[in-house]
Amino acid sequence: MMKLKIKAVSSFSFMLFAVLFILSPNQTTAQDNCPIIPLPISAVKGDGSFLLQVNTPLVLNDEALKPIAQYLQTELLKSQYLPISIQPSAGKLPAIKLVLSPKKKIGSEAYALDINGDGITIIAKDIPGAFYGATSLMQLIRQVKRVKGSLSLHAWKIEDQPAYGWRGFMLDESRFFFGMEKVKSIIDWMAFYKLNKLHWHLTDEPAWRLEIKKYPKLSLIGGIGDFRTEFTPAQYYTQEQIKEVVAYAALRFITVIPEIDMPGHATAANKAYPEFSGGGGPGHPEFTFNPGKEGTYAYLTNILKETNVLFPSAMIHLGGDEVSYGNHKWATDPEIIALMQSKNLAGTKEVETYFMKRMADSVYQMNAKLLVWDEMAEAGLPKDKTIIFWWRHDQPQVLKQALSKGYETVLCPRLPLYFDFVQDSTHNNGRKWSKLYNPIESVYSFSADHYQSQTVTKNQILGIQANLWTETVPNNQRLEYLLFPRISALAEAAWSTKAGKNFPAFMERLKGHFALYEQAGIYYYDPTNPGKYPEPVKLGKSAKRFDTGD
């Protein structure tokens, strides 16, 4: 097997390793046998092994690495019952060494991991890179068996960095409330797979899940119910719980981004404060906020001010989608008619744009970026302060429009990145699009690189994100079944280079992760053995979403 001497990471070495990966059959074999997901840029299996024991010291060259060391300690204790300690020096013992090397010309999320008989070394330029080196180490550790209190790790030389900076997952908790412990569990798995953006959909038609001090009825009344029933007692996150989740995610280098949907999907909020309702439409009662009332803008701005304090991401998602499903009364509402006349707005679409521009200004004044669904690509929002989320896979022209205008864009098309779609043709309890669905291979094969030719500026496509809407998710078991193992394919689609993609090899690596799901009690779908765990039965009302194409 080819042997490569590991050095401190450099831009040149990453380029070199990428070339070697493409050209060398031996290197490819080593890659394919690496059990880490997402697949590193370079992974060379060496001779020998390292014996990790309770007396193995954990040494850092910089105090800034202490949170990473503590994360490793916690994970080793939790998953392996191995309580190692941080030491000022290794002495004569083989050690785990965390090394910060800030002068290296590499990305902040890049790392090098070297395991040999003399110890384990993780080198990174910045703290995020050191964390991802630690998560790769933990993946290797968790896939070996402990023998007499020790773990024998194969020698590896790994160099890695992500292809894209936005590696996201969206969870809808308006339609079903999972609670803080389940969200923390999802965050743990996101960190395990190097995902770094949690888009938290907290408000919609069924319920409002975020405590707002100035408007307590939003959670106390708006928090009642879910997608299946109007009468579920109020469930929501207190501000203290929000802070706890955000801090928990931050320790795992995950940014939590709230979504406060407007001007549509406002039914739950309008239940609590009907004076700001703009009416609804068939099947979508009190669906909109009222853009004709001046008080609406002050009300929503106050909500966003509290939200911005709770979420230090400096990003707020305002939705802006599907407004036409419930704006039927706008054309006849006296206050909206007066607004149209005073602002010379030609129709309800221009009213929608006017509303979003005003609320966008509120976000910008908080020194935060505005995030919106792709319906807002034509609204004329400032491109330097706005991120577009392209979700309508059947409207590629909308993505082309957003990119041509210079918007930073996150790709999350329904096909293949909506995880409420079923993942097998025999599954009946989720969504399909004209008989199409989202198997793990489609998720794995999705590449943001495919759309780079449409961009007008460098790094305009920030990355990709999977979205899990919860009309078909009435419990934790169903959530897990839709998320696992597709979360692993999502991770590799977002992190690994297109050149390194190999689906059969990925599926071989995934087998080792099935064992981890078993250990964690995850109810997952096994595409290699579809009958192993049956599809959970749908509960409650119909699960068909109004934007489904079947």
Distances in Å between the Cα of 425 and the Cα atoms of 477, 479, 523, 537 are 20, 18, 19, 16
Cα dihedral sign, 139-145-148-152: negative
Catalytic one of 204, 286, 321, 492: 204
Distance CA 362, CA 159 (A): 43
Q: What is the DSSP letter of 535?
A: P
Alpha-carbon gap, residue 486 to 404, rounded angstroms: 31
Tokens (6 digits) for 141:
């550790």
Secondary structure class of 187 (helix, strand, coil):
helix
Of 32, 188, 322, 335, the catalytic one is 322
Radius of gyration over every alpha carbon of the chain, rounded to an integer in angstroms? 24
Q: For residue 203, report the phi and psi dihedrals to the nearest 5 degrees.
A: -135, 145
Pairwise CA distance, residues 326 & 333, whole Å: 13
**547: left (phi > 0), else alpha (psi -120 to 50), else beta?**
alpha
Catalytic-residue membership of 265: yes
Give SS3 for 451: helix
User: Structure tokens of 424?
Assistant: 């097998």
Contact partners, residue 119, CB within 8 Å, separation at least 6: 50, 90, 94, 95, 96, 97
Amino acid identity at 197: K
Catalytic residue among 265, 284, 317, 427: 265
Residue in 64, 57, 130, 121 with CA at minimum distance from that of residue 87: 57
Q: Residue 67 and residue 130: Cα distance in Å, rounded? A: 10
CA 217 remoteness from chain centre: 30
Phi/psi at 201 (5° precision) = -85, 100
β-partners of residue 120 are: 96, 115
Q: Tell me the CB-side half-sphere exposure of residue 493, using CA atoms within 13 A.
A: 25
Task: Please state at what angle helix 239-250 crosses helix 180-192, rounded to 10 degrees.
Answer: 10
The rounded distance, in Å, linking the Cα atoms of 61 and 88 is: 9
Tally Cβ neighbours within 10 Å of residue 147.
9
204 catalytic residue (yes or no): yes
Check if 393 is active-site: no
Report the distance separating Cα 63 and Cα 124, nearest Å.
14
Q: How far apart are CA 149 and CA 77, in angstroms?
A: 12
Which residues touch 114 (CB under 8 Å, ≥6 apart)?
6, 120, 121, 123, 156, 157, 158
At residue 290, φ and ψ (nearest 5 deg) are -90, 110
**Contact indicator for 232, 223 with CB cutoff of 8 Å:** no
Burial letters for 61-92: b for 16+ Cβ neighbours within 10 Å, e otherwise? Answer: eeeebebbbebbbebbeeebebebebbeebee
SS3 of residue 207 by DSSP: coil
Catalytically active residues are 204, 265, 322
